[in-house]
Amino acid sequence: MATILVTGGAGYVGSHCCLALSRAGHKVVVYDNLSNGHAKFAKWGPLEEGDIRDAARLGEVFAVHRPDAVLHCAALIEVGESVKFPERFHDVNVRGTQTLLDAMRDAGTSAFVFSSSCAVYGAPQRLPMDETHPYAPASPYGQNKLDAERLSEAAAAARGGSFAHLRYFNAAGAAWGEGIGERHEPESHAIPLALFTLLGRREAFRIYGEDYDTRDGTCLRDYVHVLDLADAHVRAIERLLGGGASLAANLGTGDGVTVRELIAAIERVTGQRVPAIPAPRRDGDSPALLADNSLALRELGWSPTRGIDEIIADAWKWHSEIEGLQ
């Protein structure tokens, strides 16, 4: 059993990773400032409140818990907000990552798994996108993720450590039976926004653009269940702790869904009609994002096991029945 410090462990992806790590027999320590996380989501180990930019607080936590590895999920994630407030995003996502890496160095912790993003690639130059795809971030958020990866690489080279950069495509779904799921404020992700219309929390779901070069004119995205993402993190941590080589890997299904297909799937799963209205394209939206996940299969033995209907069913159960109880 290893001790894993999970930054952002009270957030969406982080809490599901804590669940998966605990199920795999590891000890989890959550480090979160609760600005976007939820104390009730820290169910599988102690919650240490703190900011990743706070070197002194990080030093205290490392000294007490002596983690064998760090899983770094803490970040500001709203792409549109990153365009409005690039300095704030850089401060948290880049400077915060450097402060965390420095704390690892001082504590002698060398295994680092990073919650990265397909946003490092920017607009796709080819589909599906593999790890050799050129880097051209289209937002400060994407640039933050790429900069943090480079900091991690430099730190590992300097001290002989190891890293795994896991580049998510579209995380979705929930472990509703464990009382955790997606809860962002504000919410910007398509599946919860569409479900909110069925719950009376929004009047309509907006389809941003219907004239893209896709099979039905709407944007195509690669949705991967958050529990499948969590499984990949466990595999990456165990790889590094077992002496395996560093890597960067895409985490997606390789099976894209358009916005229109997503609406149809939600209606199929819930038995309700989604009130959807057309809207103009949004600046920065790519027509299609689709992962080539063959490297994750080859190096981690990972492949997603849950499809879009299960993703929606779990998200619907969470938002319609469980979220209000938490």
Q: Which two tokens stand for residue 303?
A: 């492949």
Sign of torsion over alpha carbons 137, 140, 143, 149: negative
- Which of these, 181, 260, 185, lies nearest to 218 by C-alpha position? 260
Q: Is-contact 61 118, C-beta < 8 A?
A: no
At 172, which helix (H) or strand (E)? strand 170-172
Question: CA dist 16 to 43, 132, 220, 232, Å?
Answer: 10, 28, 25, 11
Residue at token pair 């209205």: 277
Query: Cα separation of 303 and 289, whole Å?
Result: 18
Q: Is-contact 10 22, C-beta < 8 A?
A: no
Our CA angle for 35, 233, 239, nearest 5°, is 140
Q: Is-contact 29 61, C-beta < 8 A?
A: yes
Q: Which two tokens stand for residue 209?
A: 């653009």
Question: Which position among 12, 31, 141, 212 bears the catalytic label?
Answer: 141
Burial class (CB in 10 A: 0-12, 13-18, 19+), 200: exposed
Q: Is-contact 142 225, C-beta < 8 A?
A: no
141 is annotated as an active-site residue: yes
Task: Enumerate helices (H) and strands (E) in the chain, giving the number of each.
Answer: 11, 13
Tell me the catalytic residues.
141
